[in-house]
Amino acid sequence: MARALAGLRAYQAAVREKPADPKPATHRAGRVSLRDYGGEGRPVVFVPSLINPPEILDHTPQSSLVQWTAAQGFHSWLVDWGSPGSEDRDLDLAAHVERLLVPLLRALPEPPVLVGYCLGGTLALGAAAITPVAGVATIAAPWHFAGYGEDRPKLAATWAAVQPAAALLGLLPMEVLQAGFWQLDPARTIAKYEAFADLAPDSAAALAFVRLEDWANAGAPLPYAAAASLFEDCLANDLPGTGGWIIAGAQVDPLALACPTLEFVSISDRIVPAATAIGFADRRDLGAGHVGMIVGRSARPRLWEPLANWIAALD
């Protein structure tokens, strides 16, 4: 415990690097923007989760999946979900697709390839069901929420405890979601701060830890309806995995999409367990964790390059 607390104090006191300026937002739909990372060729739109900031897909110049993809002969874009206010309280997950994501996609000159990460992958599948896209690739995207298994009661208890306050606010603070994630593997949360206590503050490993933890502990709140969709529909009733997710009058069935599809699944993921995977015929299993598969040392050969090769091979 002493080492974990020492690591926590060191993290709190660590010097932060100045964040890079965001790329220009060339298209907007309400609070949501589409940031242009340049590049030539087929448009590829990266859809991050609603829960954490989008910067994990543009983590550093050396570990930016979006920037690297733009250098491979594609025009890369990143969805920035912005920060909702109480006026967004009635926007559930389906509304995020229909009212915010799809208008951005339709503003592009041709149907893009969608690359969705975490809950962003789930939302990307909803978009692909109601608007033309050239393909959909998902990374650690949950679909069959029953795959959370024994963790479902813990998450349900978290929601029951905070639901009245969230309903009053019209928002669910990100800190509540983070606390729920910690409950999935509390020993790992403690162990990583124990390990951080032993790092030299100016070491590359320490700087990387601070950068990643700042991302994980940041994020805008969820609109109340989106949080209710996540906890009550998805986690409690396995929607959309059981079918019946209706967006703009269309039932979303990822296995019936007309476009090419691909999913990357982490077999060691505690945030999005492999048991929640979609079930695409083209499935690539990785041993990296939920975040490591995006920014880890082996991310480029194991995920970035196979993803780029798949996009390049599309008709």
What is residue 177's predicted lDDT score, i.e. its pLDDT? 85
Transcribe 146-197 into DSSP letters. Answer: GGGGGGHHHHHHHHHHHHHHHHHHTEE-HHHHHHHHHHHSHHHHHHHHHHHT
pLDDT band for 120, please (50, 70, 90 cuts).
very high
Rounded mean pLDDT, 207-214: 93
Assess whether pLDDT exceeds 80 at residue 77: yes
More confident call, 94 vs 244 = 94
Rounded mean pLDDT, 73-89: 96
CATH number at residue 220: 3.40.50.1820
Structural domains in the chain (count):
1
The amino acid sitting at 32 is V
Residues 213-256 pLDDT 10s: 999 888 899 999 999 999 999 999 999 999 889 999 999 999 99
121: left (phi over 0), alpha (psi -120 to 50) or beta: alpha
Please report, rounded to a whole number, the percentage of residues in the chain having pLDDT higher than 70.
Answer: 100
pTM of the full predicted structure?
0.96
Tell me how far apart the alpha carbons of residues 159 and 156 are, in angstroms, rounded to a whole number: 5
Burial of 274 (0-12, 13-18, 19+ CB in 10 A): middle
pLDDT band for 189, please (50, 70, 90 cuts).
confident
Residues 6+ apart with CB under 8 A from 250: 129, 130
Give the Å distances, CA to CA, from 59 to 53, 65, 241, 294, 302.
Answer: 10, 8, 31, 9, 17
Q: Can you give the residue range of the structural domain that contains 91? A: 2-312
Tell me how far apart the alpha carbons of residues 311 and 97 are, in angstroms, rounded to a whole number: 23
Tokens of residue 284, six digits: 């690539």
What is residue 183's predicted lDDT score, i.e. its pLDDT? 78
